[in-house]
Amino acid sequence: MLLDSNAIIYAIKPEFVELRKLIAEHNPAVSAVSYVEVLGYHRLTISDKEDFT
């Protein structure tokens, strides 16, 4: 499974518990492009960025 940047961004939000479970069950890959898109997302907090790195 290859994760899209939108799925990654939504997964950090508390209300998307089921999405996090799905991701954890499948141990997906993340492309370099998605990684850059997520870390460059303008609404990402410093805390969120720390969670992703």
Task: Enter the pTM of the model.
Answer: 0.78
What is the DSSP code (8-state) at residue 15? T
Residue 48 is predicted with a pLDDT of 85
Cα-based distances in Å from 53 to 33, 42, 46: 15, 16, 11
DSSP secondary structure letters along the chain = -EE-HHHHHHHTSTT-HHHHHHHHHH--EE-HHHHHHHHT-TT--HHHHHHH-
pLDDT of residue 28: 93
Q: How far is CA 25 from the centre of its chain?
A: 15
Chain centroid offset of residue 27 CA: 12
Tens-digit pLDDT profile for the chain (53 aa)?
Answer: 899 999 999 998 999 999 999 999 998 999 999 999 998 999 888 988 888 77
